[in-house]
Amino acid sequence: MPPELELWSRELLQGQVMRLRSLGGSMIPSLREGDLVTVVPAKTCRVGDIVLYNRGDSLIMHRVLAKFADKIITKGDAAARLDPPLNLGDILGRAVSYERQGKKFSLNSLRSRMCGLAYCLTVSWIPGSITLLAALKRLGREKLGLGGPFRNFKAAP
């Protein structure tokens, strides 16, 4: 693990509050690249929380979608796929707020968690739905003998 990631992980495990810059676009619109995120140490979380965990050589900040006895399912708000399951002990911290253009926003409220969760679930549903609708549309055209959107179309008398 790179030294700075090891330092951040150690600081969180020792109870220090950390402020990290968000990188990448997996958490858009909740977090954008460059946002300054405040992360508090946490060994527990709620569905809808944004958690920080270590995966290989990087720290990842994604939303909790489901929580079981000792497993957690996470996903980036803008990602199409779920992350591999985490153990509860893998969580280093929980994002509680962020700063963007000098303004501070809470991530700790029920409204923030539920809006983020709704968006996160919708984003994963849209690509699959578009593929399904396209397949159904193709199947329907073939069964009806339509080569194009309105080819061989006749208005009912």
Q: What is the mean pLDDT of the chain?
A: 79
Provide the pLDDT for residue 153: 45
Provide the pLDDT for residue 150: 45
Express as a percent the part of the chain with pLDDT over 70: 75
pLDDT at 127 over 80: no
Provide the pLDDT for residue 134: 63
Q: Is the backbone of residue 101 left (phi > 0), alpha (psi -120 to 50) or beta?
A: left
Query: For 39-69, what is each residue's pLDDT tens digit?
Result: 998 877 899 999 998 887 788 999 998 888 7
Would you call 61 helix, strand, or coil by DSSP? strand
Query: For 113-122, what is each residue's pLDDT tens digit?
Result: 888 888 877 7
Indicate whether 87 belongs to any domain.
yes
The Cα-based distances of 92 to 13, 30, 53, 145 in angstroms read 6, 20, 5, 57
pLDDT at 79 over 80: yes
pLDDT band of residue 138 (cuts 50, 70, 90) is low
Q: 125 vs 105, which has greater pLDDT?
A: 105
Tokens of 19: 């402020």
Domain that holds residue 36: 3-144
Provide the pLDDT for residue 2: 65
Indicate whether 155 belongs to any domain.
no
Provide the pLDDT for residue 154: 47
Indicate whether 137 belongs to any domain.
yes
Indicate whether 134 belongs to any domain.
yes
Structural domain tally of the chain? 1
For position 110, which CATH number holds?
2.10.109.10
Indicate whether 152 belongs to any domain.
no
